[in-house]
């Protein structure tokens, strides 16, 4: 899966994260905060948060290509103080100041050892800090996941790179509303299956076992009418 994520750079429509950011702002005062995004991709969300008076922002991702794209985006927007790291947070130490806030969108469903990664995020977070993360709300028997596993295991990469032609046929409305580069990037998720299928109750227990308190699990706001529903987990570190 790491190779799959390294084979393309995800592109989001303008203001894609606005509903999630609005909810985040209602939950946390970002002024003067040190913010870290886990699984930042090309940096669209974390770059927008620096503009909201955060003290410093940083992103980390296992995809080298995504980090290169994020660094280029930061340079283009003049965000010279933003840091982006290409690393596996579950296996490598990262040279970052303890964040007051860790955010992540639609990443944890691809993490094999979820408990280990949640514990790692807890250890990175500053005392009194908050975590605000989402992951797919999907069952193991979801037909989409079976399609994704089939494509991931049996369909050649050369064909997976052209899945956007299938999207144009199956979802013409999405094709009309999204720029070609957005459609091409998002279509790659037809070949990236989830590996985590937790209930809200089980998610709460995983975060509490890692040491988090005030753990809340709810439905995240929809960012795309064609995307899978997501859980939103909010919690704090004592």
Of the candidates 43, 204, 227, 35, the residue with the CA atom closest to the CA atom of residue 114:
204
For residue range 95-149, what is the model confidence (pLDDT) as tens digits? 888 999 999 999 999 999 999 999 999 999 999 999 999 999 999 899 999 999 9
List the CATH code of the domain at 2-138+194-236.
Answer: 3.40.50.150
CA distance 10 to 188: 9
pLDDT (0 to 100) of residue 156:
96
Q: What is the pTM of this model?
A: 0.94
CA distance 156 to 4: 11
Which residues in the chain land under pLDDT 70?
A: none
Of the candidates 145, 140, 133, the residue with the CA atom closest to the CA atom of residue 230:
133
pLDDT (0 to 100) of residue 46:
92
pLDDT (0 to 100) of residue 223:
92
pLDDT (0 to 100) of residue 163:
94
């Amino acid at each position: 899966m790491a190779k799959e994520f390294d084979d393309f750079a995800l592109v989001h429509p303008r203001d894609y994260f606005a509903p999630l950011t609005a909810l985040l702002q209602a939950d946390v005062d970002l002024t003067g905060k040190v913010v870290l995004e886990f699984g930042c991709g090309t940096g669209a969300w974390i770059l927008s948060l620096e503009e909201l008076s955060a003290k410093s922002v940083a992103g980390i991702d296992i995809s080298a290509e995504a980090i290169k794209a994020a660094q280029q985006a930061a340079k283009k927007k003049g965000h010279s103080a933003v840091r982006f790291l290409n690393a596996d947070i579950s296996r490598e130490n990262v040279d970052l100041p303890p964040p007051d806030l860790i955010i992540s969108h639609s990443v944890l469903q691809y993490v094999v050892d979820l408990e280990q990664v949640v514990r790692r995020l807890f250890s990175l977070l500053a005392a009194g800090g908050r975590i605000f993360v989402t992951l797919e709300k999907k069952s193991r028997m979801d037909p989409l996941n079976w399609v994704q596993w089939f494509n991931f295991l049996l369909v050649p990469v050369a064909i997976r790179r052209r899945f956007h032609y299938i999207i144009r046929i199956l979802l013409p409305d999405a094709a009309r509303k999204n720029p070609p580069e957005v459609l091409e990037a998002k279509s790659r998720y037809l070949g990236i299956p989830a590996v985590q299928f937790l209930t809200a109750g089980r998610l709460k227990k995983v975060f509490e076992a890692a040491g988090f308190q005030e753990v809340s699990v709810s439905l995240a706001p929809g960012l795309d009418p064609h995307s899978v529903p997501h859980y939103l987990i909010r919690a704090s570190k004592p």
